[in-house]
Chain A
Amino acid sequence: MNDKATASFVTAFETAGNALPGAGSWLARRRADAIKAFAQAGLPHRRLEDWKYTDLRQALDKAAFAPAPEHKGAVILPETRGAVAFAGIDAHKLVFVNGRFHEGLSDMARLPKGVELHRLADVLSEQWAKALIERRMDEARQAENIVELNTALMADGMALRIRKGVRLDKPLHLVFVAADAGASHTRNLVLLEEGTEASILESHLGGKAALADIVTDIELDADATLLHAKLQDETADSVHLSTLRATLAGKARLGSFTLTLGCGLSRAQNFIRFAGEGAHASVDGAYALRAKQHFDTFSVVDHAVPGCTSHTMFKGVLDGEAEGVFQGKVIVRPDAQKTDGRQMTQALLLSRDASMNAKPELEIYADDVQCAHGSTVGELSKDAIFYLRSRGIPDAEARRLLVLAFLDEAIELAPHEKVREIFRDLVSGWFGEAAS
C-alpha cells in the first residue's frame, strides 16, 4: 500500500469493524482476506495492462472520498433527466440512498410467488449467496482484483432469487441516489433458476460528489433469461466503478445494456462466462460524454463451452475533452467449437480535444468458430453534413441527426421498447445541452 486512497479504504474497513453485515460469520474472514489482498496490490494504475487507460489510483487520491454517511432526514430524489425518464415505468422499486436501502422510497410489496427479494444482509447465511460472493472469473485478474475492495466494504445491496419456472411480472428497478457526498460499496446478487425470466433496470442518478462502487454477481441457470438496462447519470465530480460478473448455464440468455451520460470518471467492467451450451450473451452500450469526462468499458467474454454466441457493441460520442476507452476480450477455449463471438466498438469525436483508446482482443483456441471484431474512430462525415444541409437542414440539426443515428444503432440493442425510447430521448436531450 503506497497511496493515500488505498490507505483511506483500509482505515474505513478498520473503522467499520463489526458494523458491516456478516460480522462473526464466514464473511468476516473473507472480508479480512479481501482487504489484505486489496491493500497489498493497492488501487490500480496505468502500469497495469488491464488499467492501461484509466488511472484509478490517481483519480481517487485526488478526489479522496470518505465513507458516505447514513442520510439524515427526508430524501428528495434528484430531478435529473434520468430520474424523470424512468419514473413512468411500472416496476418493483428498490431505492438505495448513499448505498443503503431506503424502505420508505421503495416498493417491493407485491412480488409474485417464487420471487425472493431481500437485502444483502438477509441472505448472507445462504449457500447460493456465499457461492456467488466467493466466485472468481480469473480471466483478467488485474481488473477483477478491484472486486476485493467491494467484498471488504460492501454494506448493502439487493439479493434476488427466482425459483424454477417463475417469471418476474414486471421489471425490478434499482435506483441509486447520492444524497450526501462520500463512498458507498454495494453488492447485488442475482440467481435465476431454471426457466425463469426477469428484467432489471438500474438507474444511478447521483446527487452529490460520490464514489459508487457496485458489484453485481449473476448466475443464470439453464434456460433462464435476464434483461438488464442501466442508466448512469451521476455528477461530474463523481466516480463510478461497477463490475458485472455473470455465469450462464445451457441456453441461458443475458441481455445487458448501459447508457452512460454522467460521471467524471466511470469504469464499467463486464465478465461473462458460458458454462453451458447454447447460451447467448449480449453486452452492449452507448455513451455520450463531454467536458473532462472519462469512461472506460472493460469486458471479457469467456466461451468456455461449445455452441454459445456473444455480442458486444459499444458506441459513443465524445465532445469537449472527454476520453473514451474500450478494452474488450473474447476468449474461445479449446473445445469451444461452434462459438460465434462478435465485438464492435465505434466512437465519434466531436471536438479537437476528445480522445479515444480501444483494444478489442480475440484469444482463440478452437478452430471451428466464427469470431470477428471491429473498431472505428472518426468524426462526423463532412459529406453527410453537406448532404443534409443541402436539403435545408441547419448545421446543428444535421449534426444532431447524425449523432443520434450513430448512437441509435447501439440503443436498438437495449431491452424493451420503452427503455429504448427513454434512452433515445436522453441522448437527444444530451445533445441539446451542447447546443445551448
Chain B
Amino acid sequence: MLEIRNLHAKVDGKEILKGIDLDIRAGEVHAIMGPNGSGKSTLSYVLAGREGYEVTEGTIRFKGRDPMEMGVDERAAAGVFLAFQYPLEIPGVTTMTFLKTALNAQRKARGEEELDAVRFLKLVREKAKPLNVTDDMLKRALNVGYSGGEKKRAEVLQMSLLEPALCVLDETDSGLDIDALKTVAEGVNALRSPERAMIVITHYQRLLDYIVPDVVHVLSKGRIVKTGGKELALELEKSGYAAYGADAA
C-alpha cells in the first residue's frame, strides 16, 4: 500500500529525513519509535502533505499513486488519515458540521453519493457511541474546550467515520491517562482490518501494549536504524534509544 524509497525531507532549510525506506502492506500495523527530534512527526507531515515540509529526494507510492502530486485534501480523499498529536481547535465550526463536511467532501471526490443529514446523523451516532463521544461534544466547536482525552477520542472518531486506507497516528498516546489510552486504543483496534494499514508513531512502548504492531521500526536522526517484530519495542523500553546513536531523550 505504501512504498517509501530513500526519502529525504527538509523543514526550514534543515534536512530532517535523511533517507527513509519503508514498505507497508494492507492489513499491517507498523510502529515507528524514536527519540524526540528523530523525524517521526516530520514523516507524518510529509505523508499528509503539510506546507513547509519539502521532499528533496526519493519517492513515495501510495496505492500506486504519487502523493507528492496531490494536494492535502486529495490525499485525504485517497485514504491518508493523520491523527494529530495536537488536534487543532477551530472556534465556531461545530464538530458535527466539520465531520459532515469532511465526509461528504471525500465522498464527492471519490465520485460517491453525498450523505443527507438523516443518514449522516445516524452514522455519526453509531460511530461515536463506542468511543464515548457524546452528543454534547458533537455540538460544540471542534476541539474547543475538549480535554486531552476528548481531543484524541474525537480524532479516532474522525478516523472511524472517514474509513481511511492508511492511518498515521502521531503520538496519539501523549497527554493521555491510562483509562483514556485504553478507550482510544480500543477504538483504533476496532479499525484494524485486512484492507487497512496503520503507522503508529510513538516515543514510548506503553501504547504498543494496547495496539500491538506487526513491525517495529526505530527512527534516529532521520533514518530507520533498526526494524524488528513487536519484541523490539520491549527491548527499547529496557535499553533506551542510546544504543541506536541517539541521545537519551
- Tell whether any CB of A sits under 8 Å from a CB of B in the complex: yes
Task: Kindly provide the distance from the CB of A350 to the nearest chain B CB, expressed in whole angstroms.
Answer: 16
- Per-residue interface assignment for chain B, residues 66 to 94, with 1 indicating a CB less than 8 Å from any chain A CB and 0 otherwise: 00000111011100111010011011110
Q: How far is the CB of B5 from chain A (nearest CB, A)?
A: 23
B147 proximal to A (CB < 8 A): no
- Set of chain A residues within 8 Å of B91, measured between Cβ atoms: 405, 409
Question: What are 24 A-B interface contacts by the 8 Å CB criterion?
Answer: A386-B48, A386-B50, A386-B72, A388-B73, A388-B102, A389-B71, A389-B72, A389-B73, A390-B48, A390-B50, A390-B76, A390-B80, A390-B81, A392-B76, A392-B77, A392-B102, A392-B106, A393-B73, A394-B73, A395-B72, A397-B101, A398-B73, A401-B98, A409-B91
A-binding residues in B (CB < 8 A): 48-51, 71-73, 75-77, 80-82, 84, 87-88, 90-93, 97-98, 101-103, 105-106, 109, 141, 158, 162
List the 7 shortest-distance A-B pairs measured between CB atoms, nearest first.
Answer: A405-B92, A392-B76, A389-B72, A392-B106, A391-B102, A389-B73, A405-B93
Q: Output the least CB separation between B100 and chain A (Å).
A: 10
**Beta-carbon contacts under 8 Å, A27-63 to B:** none
**Chain A nearest Cβ from B113, distance in angstroms:** 16
List of B residues within 8 angstroms of A395 by Cβ: 71-73
The A interface, classified by DSSP as helix, strand, loop or mixed, is: helix
Q: Which residue of A lies closest to B88 (CB)?
A: A387
A361 at the interface (CB under 8 A from B): no
Interface residues in A, total, Cβ within 8 A? 23
Q: How far is the CB of A390 from chain B (nearest CB, A)?
A: 5
Report Cα–Cα, A387/B73, bound state, in Å.
9
Contacts A388-B102, A390-B48, A397-B101 given; indicate if A402 touches B73 (C-beta within 8 A): no
Residue pair A401, B101 in contact (C-beta under 8 Å)? yes
Cα distance A384–B50 in the bound complex, in angstroms: 11
Contacts known (A391-B162, A398-B73); A408 close to B105, Cβ less than 8 A: no
CB-CB under 8 A from B50, the residues of chain A are 386, 390
Q: Contact partner of A397 among B72, B87, B105, CB < 8 A?
A: B105
Residues of B within 8 A of A388 (CB): 73, 90, 98, 102
Docked Cα-Cα span, A404 to B71, in Å, equals 23
B228 to chain A, nearest CB (A): 30
Closest B residue, CB atoms, query A400: B101
Cβ of A79 within 8 Å of any chain B Cβ, yes or no, is no
Assembled-state Cα–Cα distance A383/B52 (Å): 11
Q: List chain A residues, Cβ under 8 A from B71.
A: 389, 394-395
Are B92 and A392 neighbours in the complex by a CB distance under 8 Å? no
In the bound complex, CA of A405 to CA of B141 (Å):
9
**CB–CB B72/A384 < 8 A:** no
**Contact indicator A383/B88 (Cβ below 8 Å):** yes
Across the interface, B90 reaches (CB within 8 A) one of A389, A390, A405, namely A405
A406 interface residue per 8 A CB criterion: yes
Bound form: Cα–Cα A398–B50 in Å: 15
CA of A345 to CA of B7, assembled, Å: 46
- A401–B102 CA distance with the chains assembled, in angstroms: 11
Contact A402/B93 with A382-B51, A386-B51 known, Cβ cut-off 8 Å:
yes
Residues from 387 to 436 in A contacting B, C-beta threshold 8 Å? 387-395, 397-398, 401-402, 404-406, 408-409
Given A387-B88, A391-B81, output 8 extra A-B contacts at Cβ < 8 Å.
A384-B88, A386-B50, A391-B76, A393-B73, A394-B71, A402-B90, A408-B92, A409-B91
Most buried by B among A381, A383, A391, A409: A391
Point out the residue from B72, B93, B106 that lies within 8 Å of A401, measured CB to CB. B93
Q: How far is the CB of A162 from chain B (nearest CB, A)?
A: 36
- How far is the CB of A344 from the nearest CB of chain B, in Å? 13
A406 CB to closest chain B CB (Å) equals 6
Return the contact of A392 from the options B51, B141, B162 (Cβ within 8 A).
Answer: B162
A382 contacts which chain B residues (CB < 8 A)? Answer: 51
Q: Which of A383, A394, A398, A406 has the most C-beta atoms of chain B within 10 angstroms of its own C-beta?
A: A394
List, in ascending order, chain B residues with CB within 8 A of A408's CB. Answer: 92
Cβ of A191 to closest chain B Cβ, rounded Å = 38
Most buried by A among B50, B80, B102, B109: B102
Interface 1/0 per residue, A356-394 and B, CB below 8 Å: 000000000000000000000000011110111111111
Tell me the bound Cα distance from A209 to B162 in angstroms: 50
